[in-house]
Each structure stands twice: as C-alpha cells, then as structure tokens.
Chain A
Amino acid sequence: MTEPLVTFRNVEKRFGDFVAVRNMVLDIHEGEFLAIMGSSGCGKTTTLRMLAGLEAPTAGEIRMAGRLMNDVKPHERDTPLVWQSLALFPFLTARENVEFGLKMRGVGAAERKRRALDWLDRMQIADFAERNVATLSGGQKQRVALARSLVMEPKMLLLDEPLSALDANLVIRMQGVLTKLQKELGITFVYVTHSQSEAFAMADRVVIMSQGDIAQVGSPKDIYRTPANRFVAEFVGRNNILSGKVLGGDAKGMQIATPQGTFTAQTPQTPLAPGQSVSFAVSADLLTLSETEPDTVNKAQATLISEEFIGSLVTLFLEGADGMEFKVQMQERALMDLDLSPGATLWLGWDAASASILSEG
C-alpha cells in the first residue's frame, strides 16, 4: 500500500480539562471514503476541525503527505469542508459562493466564473447560479456547498454531518450523489456523522469514536460482524451481549459459562485464560429460531415477549434464563411456520463463528 494521505500520531486535543481527542493513531488513505462516527461529544468533529486546521492538536503529530500540519493555518491548507450549517455566504449568489475560494486564491474573474458554472452544472443547479442562496431549497443549498468545496479541486474533502438538516428521503438521494461523486473524482472523503445508516451506506472504512478514543476502525461489514468491544457492540446494530467466565478452549473456539448456559464463541486474537470474565456479542440477525431443539453448537431456550415490525423485517424480543433479553431479527416470511403467540417457548441457536468476543473497555 502507498503512503497514507494523512497520518495521526498520538494526537491529543484538550479544551481546558476536557479531553476531546485522546492519543489518536489513524491513517487516512488516498481515494477512500472514510466515515468517522460516534455520538455527540465523542471527538469526531474535533478530529475533522484539526484536519481543516481550525483546531491545533495539543500533543502529537498530524501529517499530510508527509508534511507536519500541526500549526499550518486553515487558509494555507487544501482541505475544504462542507459544514453542518453549510455556512453559505448569505449576501452572495450561488455562483459567487462557489467562486469564493478561487477568488481567495487569486484566480481571475473570467476563469472563476467558468469553473464555478461548470461545477454548478455538474451538481445540476446551473439554473440557480444567479439566485441569492437564501432563496434556494435545502437540497439546492447542499449542492452549492458541495460545489463550493469541490471547485477547489482538493485531494481530500471534509464533510461535517452535511445531511443532518435534510428530509429523510432527500438524505437517501444525497447519499447516492455523494458516493457517486467520490468514485468519479477518486479523492478522499472524510465524513463525520452520528448516523450509522449514513456511515455504513457510504463509507469504505468506518472509525467509531467514543469519549475521545477510537473504539474501532474497519469496514462496515467487519464492524457489524465482529464488534471489537462492548461499546461498539452496543452502539452498532442490534447485538445480543452475553457475559460470563472462560472455561477453556482452543483455536476452534472458547467455551464460556454464562447464566444462560455454556456457549462456544470465536477464539480471539489475544488468548484468554480460564476463569477470566468475558463478554461476547451475537448479532440479532444471526440467531435462528425454532420450536424444536436446533443442531447448532449454541442453543438456549427463551420465552417470546413481543414483536416489532419494520416493513418486512421483524424483531422478536425473548426472555431467556436469568431475565436476559434476546433480540432476533429476521424476514417476516421466515416466521410463517412458527408459533408466535406471546409466552411461547422457542429455541435460539447460533454458530460459534457468529459469537465474537468483546475486549474489555
């Protein structure tokens, strides 16, 4: 792999006593769509602002293409940002907004206009070029904001929750626009969001942050299937998290005794000693449900409590031994031949490979 476009090395950002980003180590590669995800206050926006030079790291190094960037001023960087508020200049027209960066860089008026109109056309809003931005719709403003950043022809585009102000159906449309744009241009997108669906739908890699730390980095599929720790397991999707003590195990699997029974889980990279407390997660859509005892490695009995329908997808809530709540997610069709009256006792089953051990913390 070539040298990363951006490297974070032990980067820390403090605001007084508050640590917004702690000891961050992260590489961002050329041409990837990277999403940074987490709840508010997790440090995702601070990370993005450090990339744009709007905040300087308190410690550590940020390098772009090998150059140390810690104290490089925002205007000396090539890191245009699409703001959550969009931050369009209200006293300018759409075209003048797009021209703004070029004007700052000293590009001549004719050239500016040509390039701005070119991008507005590409974003399919050329008709609104001479309109005051205040009169545009949310989606149109979004496109002006994108054009304003992309006209700078950057290697990397930063996006801070750009879709958060849009209607749900418009969000899906814009997601399509963004992924297509990123593939066409081949530039790096760093996309900050609190929305799992946005991050997982668009990104090549997702960084999950929690209280200033990186909780996990990986492809959406990796994170979904093998959450690294309890935080990610709880944050991402519908996971069943079981806790217990290690009995023993080998390369094929670990035996873990829990109040719900003894189960086999995938052996983690770092070996676990018998007697150690441990948790593991099983994704709700990897559990099977049957009336008779299944032949899977892991099985448990539970009582049906309730169901929740979202379209053709059903989530069933069951109560297992010791009051443990199990969530099972499946297609409605697959439920046809089951007795689903509340209080029915059903069997849950899952493979060892579906159960991934969570590291503590």
Chain B
Amino acid sequence: MHGRGLNIILGVYVALIFTFVFAPIFFSLVFSFNSQRFPTIPLGEFSTEWYAKILSDPDIWQAVRNSVIVSTTTAILATTLGFCTAYTDFRYNFRFKGPYLALILLPPTIPLIIMALAMLAWLSRLGLSGQLWSIIMAHSVLTAPFAMAIIRLRLHQMDPDLEAAAWNLGGTEWQAMRHVIVPFCMPAIISSLCLTAAVSFDEFAVAWFVSGLNKTVPIVILEIVQGNIDPQVNAIGTFVFLTSISLVVAAQVIFISRQIKSHS
C-alpha cells in the first residue's frame, strides 16, 4: 500500500494539479486556432482567422510597440536599481540597513490595485500620469525587488576576497566593479533583465490605471475581455504567453546553467 499504490495515486494527483495550472494556458493556445466564436468541445475547424485579425489591427501593433518599450525600459531600470541595492547589501553595513532593504522589498507585498490607485493619484499630482513613462516608473518600483533578489543571490556565491584581490592588483574600486563584480554578476543581470521584462510585460492593473491613452498589450486584452467573448484574446494571449515563457525560460537556463558551472 505504502509503496507502489500510493505512488500511483500521488502521481495522478500531482498530474491533476498540473492540469489545473496549465489548462488555461493550453486551451488558450488551442482556441486561438479554432474557428468558433464561442469555443467549446467538439472543436470547430482549424483556423488562423484570429491571428489574421490581430495582425491587421493597427491598435494592437501600437500596443505591442508600447509594451516592448515599457518592458525593456523597465527591465533596464529595475535591474540597475536592483544591482545597486544588491551590491550595497553585499558590500556595506550601515545603521539603517533594515529599513533601507525594506524600502526596496516591500512593494510586492502590497496589492497591485492599491499600488495602482496610489500611483495614479501621485503621478497625476506630479503631472506625470497618462504617459508611457508613468507605467515605466511604476513598474520599475514593482520589479526592482526581483532584480535585487536574483543579483544578491549571485553575489552570495562570490568569494568575498575576489573584489579585494582586484584592489590588491592595483585596481581602483571602480575598476574592480567593472572588471570583477559586473562580469561575475553577468548571468544574474541577464536573468534579471528577462524576468523583470516578463513581469512588466504582463502587468495590467497599475498600467491600466496610470497609462491614460497609451495602451499596452494587457490593457488591450482587458478592454476586449470587458466587451464580450472574442477569440482574438486567445491569439493575443498565445503571443503573450510565448513572449513571457521564453523570457522566463531564458532567465532560468542562463542562471541555473551558470550556477551548475560555478559549482563544478
């Protein structure tokens, strides 16, 4: 009973959990190639109608452009901020370090809808709302902690003598940063760029509130969904999934392969 039988039951259960988690992703993909307007089983004919529709929609192209701008800029900003903070945490000890770290790590614990309202009110007050920049600023706050965590993890694996060795060989602090710390952290930096881009690419609550008329891809989805059932969403969704999944997989492969390498 405790051996094989239990293992089979547990295996089936785990498979069910994974089915639940991946069913929406799977069906979104399937329905994006399905001709029915109200998709169900049995499936309709194979069709690329919805893809043709979104590809010919200039609004969607504009949203894609916006999303690419927002997520790449966010990724660069958040990774820079995360790197600075991770390095500070690695290298220095100072009096208010606890609050300092809390300042960067806190935002993800606050529900997005609250951040969205707060950002909207504040950015309007500063006259900064309703632009792509508004989304970028908000997203960088939300994603910097991820960047910080990934890069901090990498620095944790570094021999602490490495930086001092660079000074010892005649490098200034800046040279040591450029020739030792940054190269060592490079896999984490690339992972962080991918992951923060993925998060920013998918985020809709804050973006929707502060973006004004500048729509990103998730905002377009939100608006289509609000109207009625439209399988265009599945086509866009498939494209969105592919983008984020490739970013996440790239991030993990780069980071994990480096970790394995540095341990061998």
Residues of A within 8 A of B159 (CB): 85, 87
A52 to B184, CA, bound (A): 23
A83→B165 contact, CB < 8 A: yes
A152 beta carbon closer than 8 Å to chain B: yes
B167 beta carbon closer than 8 Å to chain A: yes
Number of interface residues of B (CB under 8 A): 22
A149 to B165, CA, bound (A): 10
B168→A54 contact, CB < 8 A: yes
A103→B161 contact, CB < 8 A: no
B264→A104 contact, CB < 8 A: no
Query: Which residue in B172, B184, B264 is a CB contact (below 8 Å) of A91?
Result: B184
Closest A residue by C-beta to B183:
A91
Please report whether the interface of chain A is mostly helix, strand, loop or mixed according to DSSP: loop
B164 beta carbon closer than 8 Å to chain A: yes
Among B162, B173, B262, max chain A CB count under 10 A is at B162
B29 beta carbon closer than 8 Å to chain A: no
| A75-B170 in contact given A91-B184, A100-B179 (Cβ < 8 Å) | yes
Closest B residue by C-beta to A158:
B168
A89→B167 contact, CB < 8 A: no
B221 beta carbon closer than 8 Å to chain A: no
A87→B170 contact, CB < 8 A: no
Residues of B within 8 A of A152 (CB): 169-170
What are 5 contact pairs spanning A and B, CB under 8 A? Answer: A73-B167, A75-B167, A75-B172, A81-B165, A89-B166
Number of interface residues of A (CB under 8 A): 25
Contact with B along A78-98 (1 / 0, CB 8 A): 011101110101110000000
Distance of A136 from chain B, by nearest CB (Å) = 12
Distance of B203 from chain A, by nearest CB (Å) = 33
A134 beta carbon closer than 8 Å to chain B: yes
A268 beta carbon closer than 8 Å to chain B: no
Closest B residue by C-beta to A79:
B168
Residues of B within 8 A of A73 (CB): 167, 172
Contact with A along B165-207 (1 / 0, CB 8 A): 1111111110100011001101000000000000000000000
B162→A134 contact, CB < 8 A: no
Distance of B193 from chain A, by nearest CB (Å) = 18
Among A52, A87, A90, A152, max chain B CB count under 10 A is at A87
Distance of B31 from chain A, by nearest CB (Å) = 46
Distance of A96 from chain B, by nearest CB (Å) = 10
Residues of A within 8 A of B179 (CB): 100, 103-104
Closest A residue by C-beta to B175:
A104
A83 to B169, CA, bound (A): 12
Residues of B within 8 A of A148 (CB): 169
Query: Which residue in B161, B164, B261, B264 is a CB contact (below 8 Å) of A74?
Result: B164
Residues of A within 8 A of B184 (CB): 89-91
Closest B residue by C-beta to A74:
B167
A294 beta carbon closer than 8 Å to chain B: no
Residues of A within 8 A of B183 (CB): 89, 91
